Amino acid sequence: MILCAGEALIDMLPRETADGPGFYPAVGGAVLNTAVALGRLGAPVAMHTGLSTDLFGDLIAARMAESGVEDRAARADRPTTLAFVKLTDGQAEYAFYDENTAGRLLSPEDAPSLDGIDTLFLGGISLAVEPCADTYEVLAASTDLPLMIDPNVRPGFVADAERYRARIRRLLARASVVKLSDEDMDWLGTTPAEVLALGPHTICLTEGAKGATAITARGEVRVPARKVEVVDTVGAGDTFNAGVLAVLAEAGLGEPPSDETLRAALDLGVAAAAVTVSRAGANPPRRDEL
């Protein structure tokens, strides 16, 4: 079973109403989106996060349940993180409201059971802010489970850039598989060769309309993007992660995969992400929709 550990929040999506512009609350968060997409693809998956007891926390718990995600969250009587979304030509920008939330204040004492877990996934804004970022790093350091990480850098959410870069570098060195975008690498000031030198056996590089590439010490495996009409990009990278992780975890994430396995992983990731971008919000497909 895969354990996804990180943020679960509410995306406030822009909507036109009879009274003018408004926002629609939709369950989201990069790590939760990946967990939901994994569950819908039929992969065994659990989710650990700091989850509020408020009405938004109930929405998040319901999304996990309906998507086949085992709930290993730590409940807290604190608010849920909100992410207000601005769409420009379908591309999403975010304004986060995260102070004193259940997710932000997650501590090492809230660590989940790892019974039945054989793969760990970390990423998203939960790695950018303390104390939850330190908590997730402690979780990764407490086990030798193979790890996939997607930094999914949101520069506007990072208060201490050097502290954040140092944490990501430590986690990259701990990971078996890393997913990065062009923008992530530019902001982190790194290259695929430098990341591989830290220790991961595979980098999955996403390049939007160009598709995706898996980079290993042997070379590269490329898969083109699917041509679809884009509604918005919310949750696209998270869904891609789920497709890749579903295949690689089944093969054994800790071991370098064959080119055939990498191609199958990229194919599933790209196909699933294409469905997500074709509809509003982070709404990953189920396996029978592909």
pLDDT for the residue 263: 97
pLDDT for the residue 159: 87
Residues of the chain short of pLDDT 70, as ranges, are 90
- Between helix 132-141 and helix 161-174 the angle, nearest 10°, is 20
pLDDT for the residue 25: 92
Q: How many residues does the chain have?
A: 290
Tens digits of residue pLDDT in 94-123: 888 999 999 999 999 999 999 999 999 999
pLDDT for the residue 90: 62
Domains and CATH numbers, the chain: 28-47+112-289 (3.40.1190.20)
Distances (CA, A) of 184 to 152, 189, 202, 204: 7, 8, 16, 12
